[in-house]
Chain A
Amino acid sequence: MDAFLSATGHILTPIPLLWCFLGVTLGIIVGAIPGLSGSMLITMTVPLTFFMGSSYDALILLIAMYVGSISGGLISATLLRMPGTPAAIMTTLDGYPMAQRGQVGRALGLGITASFVGGVISWVFLIALSPTLAVWATYFGPWEYFTLVLMALVLIASLTQGSMIKGLLAGFLGMLASMPGVDPSTGMLRLTFGFNSWAGGFNLLPVLLGVFVVSQVLKYIIDAERPVTRIAASNKGMFMTLADWKRQATNLIRSSVIGTWIGILPGIGASIGSICAYTAAKNMSKTPEKFGTGFDDGIVASEAANNATIGGALVPLVTMGIPGSVIDAILIGALLMHNLQPGPLLFVTDPEVPYTIISTHLIANFMMLAVMLVSVKWISKLILVPTAYLMPVILMFCLVGAYSLQNQPFDVWVTLAFGVLGFVLEKIKVPLAPFVIGFILAGLAEAELRSGLMASAGSIEPLFTRPISASFLAVSLFMLVWSFWGEWRRSRTQAGGAAA
């Protein structure tokens, strides 16, 4: 508790508050611009945080960006019918029709308020669960970590939209990409194909810059001439009335809890959370036919849930060092680069770090609410910046940023190569999120498995005899079988439909 208070106290001083404000505002703007996403912004910011002096301030900035970027997506979803970030995809379904009807202010207001409530509810879970879970996770050994990572990989592959096989392919490709260089277990070199520059492997940040930034820039350039019509923002009717609050209370709480829970599950994040909450709201509604026509409940469910996933996803990050979403994976990379090993021990050795993350999450939500309510009109003007100026600057920053990480031109080539890979994979509808999660978790999974084998003198028995690892294993197997079965059934009904 002391650590929580001192961390919060630190954030409430002028300079951290400034970073928090900067992060939220930048996050909202980037989140609102279609084609730019929170992952891009955070990946490009990480190298710069080394020059900030305090790693706490770096964390504050990054978490604030996370909160801002997921929230900002609703602006373009409502005004352009394009999700500014993937997380806001469900918001387009009801936000845009409502805005078209002329209730622009109301659509934005509902989205903003729901985002805020979702954020705060998930924060309650975050602070309530984390310290307890961290104590529990201290007793995790190699087998527990290995099965946990396995579960994360299966979850993300099976819950991404589209083909399960493509999801799994992406995950395993990511694992493969992480393997050249120093073996995470014994420190031997492997898969370097004789190139000295490969000895360090492909580093996380250049890979992420490639997969998330270069590939998206290329895609954006291709689609640059897509015609868009923008609805002008308005402040009218932005504040929810008491009647609105009453009507939405259940929906708000349900969607936030769903979002938080999806967030906690390792590997999957905001887009899936918002889809699940939207579907749940629709299924439980008395008027499901109204969804998709500019209905209040649709906006509220989607936005409450996607913001709630942030708090949820931070739970496995601060307690176990396992990413709850793709952005969390980048945050873990950032923590490691700042010499902080995320995991249960963080609560013992540097309790200020997890509590800085937790407090920033809450404060950033309040700041998001204020910034959005006050300035949504101005921000909405920024969402159509001329790409011809913006994209070159982003591409250049991304390449120079990759170079500056370790003063190595090799990283620039890695960025470009993974940019092409990301572009190609997306083109053939292989999802990128499992790729990134696989890339990050493979080393951990391999190291933990082999540590376990070393400790047990080569026996895999503990995998089944240790209760926690056995249950994680059971869940993974169940998920795998269940989703394959689901896919098989789907393909059969499709084939049946085609034959008929």
Chain B
Amino acid sequence: MSDKITTARFELFVYAVLLCIVTAIFWSTLDLPTSTREPLGSASIPQIVSVIVAIFCIILILRSLRAQRAAAAAPATEADALQSVEAKAPSAYRRRTDKAAICFGLALVFAFALDQRLVNAAILTPAFLLALMLVLQGFRPRSILPSVVIALLVGITTTYVFKHFFYIDLP
């Protein structure tokens, strides 16, 4: 039940963010010049699309609010029962949102290092791979050695191939 409410709140949050984004887009199209060749110009289509997106967001927000209120009023509807059955089956395992977040954080660090050319790619890629593998394995001692070997092998080969065979301008 609580899981459902967090999901609904998350949904509301996403639509709200989308609304902000489309407002920003609409606002930024206002100073685009019009065209003499046809009536639309560069600005019209982005404006139309952002208005449509905004309308959909508002409909979905209203819908989600109504569903929440209905759920709070009558917690045991048929649809609810169906969903809780669905939810029960996969909830037998632990969802590792924490690991996914750490991995994404590592990916951001990797992208930043690539962007700023901080480290040579031949060091950066294996390090990135190793870090990810260790996070996913949970630092089990038995898995460290194969992880190191695979990370070094894949990382260095990839860097070499991309740099010297494909002429990619990696740091």
User: Which residues of A are at the interface with B, using a C-beta cutoff of 8 A?
Assistant: 51, 165-166, 168-169, 172-173, 175-176, 179, 183, 185-186, 188, 190-191, 193, 214, 217-219, 221-227, 387-389, 391-393, 395-397, 399-400, 403-404, 407, 409, 412-413, 416, 419-420, 424-425, 427-428, 442, 446, 449-450, 453-454, 458, 494, 497-498
Cβ–Cβ contact A392 & B100, under 8 A: no
Shortest CB–CB separation between residue A318 and chain B, in angstroms? 28
Cβ–Cβ contact B129 & A396, under 8 A: yes
Shortest CB–CB separation between residue B58 and chain A, in angstroms? 11
Shortest CB–CB separation between residue B155 and chain A, in angstroms? 7
Interface residues of B in 91-143 (CB under 8 A from A): 92-97, 99-100, 103-104, 107-108, 110-111, 114-115, 125, 128-129, 132-133, 136-137, 143
Cβ–Cβ contact B111 & A412, under 8 A: yes
Chain B residues with CB under 8 Å of A458's CB are 38-39
Using known A-B contacts A172-B53, A179-B46, A221-B136, determine if residue A396 contacts B147 with beta carbons closer than 8 Å.
Answer: no
Q: How far is the CA of A421 from the CA of B125 in the complex (A)?
A: 25
Chain A residues with CB under 8 Å of B128's CB are 392, 396
Cβ–Cβ contact A389 & B147, under 8 A: yes
Chain B residues with CB under 8 Å of A446's CB are 45
Q: Is the interface of B mostly helix, strand, loop or mixed?
A: helix
Closest 9 CB pairs of A and B: A392-B132, A453-B38, A409-B115, A388-B136, A404-B168, A169-B56, A183-B42, A221-B100, A428-B11
Cβ–Cβ contact B132 & A51, under 8 A: no
Using known A-B contacts A225-B94, A450-B40, A498-B78, determine if residue A169 contacts B57 with beta carbons closer than 8 Å.
Answer: yes
Q: A165-B60, A391-B132, A396-B110 are in contact. List 19 more A-B contacts (CB 8 A).
A: A173-B53, A179-B25, A183-B42, A186-B35, A191-B25, A218-B103, A221-B103, A222-B100, A392-B132, A400-B170, A404-B166, A404-B170, A409-B111, A409-B114, A416-B111, A419-B104, A446-B45, A449-B40, A458-B38
Cβ–Cβ contact B104 & A420, under 8 A: yes
Shortest CB–CB separation between residue B65 and chain A, in angstroms? 14
Assign chain B's interface to a size class.
35 or more
Most chain B beta carbons < 10 A, residue from A173, A389, A392:
A392
Chain A residues with CB under 8 Å of B151's CB are 392
Shortest CB–CB separation between residue A477 and chain B, in angstroms? 16
Cβ–Cβ contact A168 & B162, under 8 A: no
Most chain A beta carbons < 10 A, residue from B56, B146, B155:
B56
Shortest CB–CB separation between residue B83 and chain A, in angstroms? 12
Shortest CB–CB separation between residue B127 and chain A, in angstroms? 11
Q: How far is the CA of A494 from the CA of B82 in the complex (A)?
A: 13
Interface string of B144-156 (1 = CB under 8 A from A): 0011001100110
Chain B residues with CB under 8 Å of A419's CB are 104
Shortest CB–CB separation between residue A81 and chain B, in angstroms? 11
Most chain A beta carbons < 10 A, residue from B97, B151, B162:
B162
Cβ–Cβ contact B78 & A389, under 8 A: no
- Interface presence of B5 (CB below 8 A): no
Interface string of B10-29 (1 = CB under 8 A from A): 11001000100010110011
